[in-house]
């Protein structure tokens, strides 16, 4: 009985990540760059699986690949022509922020990215 109560309390107070389904807008800035690049994502979460699309704006979107949610950690990739974008983000309230790795056949760049949930959807 005591063990059941402890487990119940543990799960009752464990932080739960919010559902990420919705539209997200923000930008990234590559190391050494002098300006931010816009980002827009349309996400759909089903349990630990994340699907949807992302790109520079709502009209230019590319499918998410390998989307995963593990607690407050989020990861996914997007391929746009010659570039592969690999996101490793952390959820905090209505924002996603973290690292972005950009890879082409000839270059690898790292960036910091921040996305904020679009209100009123």
Say if residue 108's pLDDT is above 80: yes
Q: Which domain holds residue 42?
A: 16-117
Query: Are 33 and 47 a contacting pair, CB within 8 Å?
Result: no
Please give the full DSSP string across 51-98, using - where no structure is assigned. EEEEEEETTEEEEEEEEEEETTEEEEEEEETTEEEEEEEEEETTEEEE
Whether residue 71 lies inside any domain: the answer is yes
**Domains in the chain, number:** 1
Question: What stretch of H or E contains 26?
Answer: strand 22-30
Instruction: Note the pLDDT tens digit of each residue in 42-73.
Output: 999 999 999 999 999 999 999 999 999 999 99
CATH at residue 51: 2.40.128.120
Whether residue 9 lies inside any domain: the answer is no
Look at residues 95, 45, 121 and name the one whose alpha carbon lies nearest to residue 113: 95
Whether residue 2 lies inside any domain: the answer is no
pTM of the predicted model as reported, rounded to 2 decimal places: 0.83
């Amino acid at each position: 009985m005591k063990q059941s109560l402890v487990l119940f309390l543990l799960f009752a107070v464990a932080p739960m990540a919010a559902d990420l389904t919705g539209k997200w807008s923000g930008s990234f800035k590559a190391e050494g760059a002098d300006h931010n690049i816009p980002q827009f994502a349309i996400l759909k979460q089903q349990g630990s699986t994340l699907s949807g699309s992302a790109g520079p704006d709502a009209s230019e979107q590319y499918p998410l690949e390998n989307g995963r949610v593990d607690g407050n950690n989020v990861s996914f990739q997007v391929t746009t022509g010659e570039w592969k974008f690999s996101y490793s983000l952390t959820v905090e309230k209505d924002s996603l922020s973290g690292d972005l790795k950009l890879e082409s056949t000839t270059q690898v760049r790292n960036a910091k990215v921040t996305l904020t949930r679009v209100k009123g959807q």
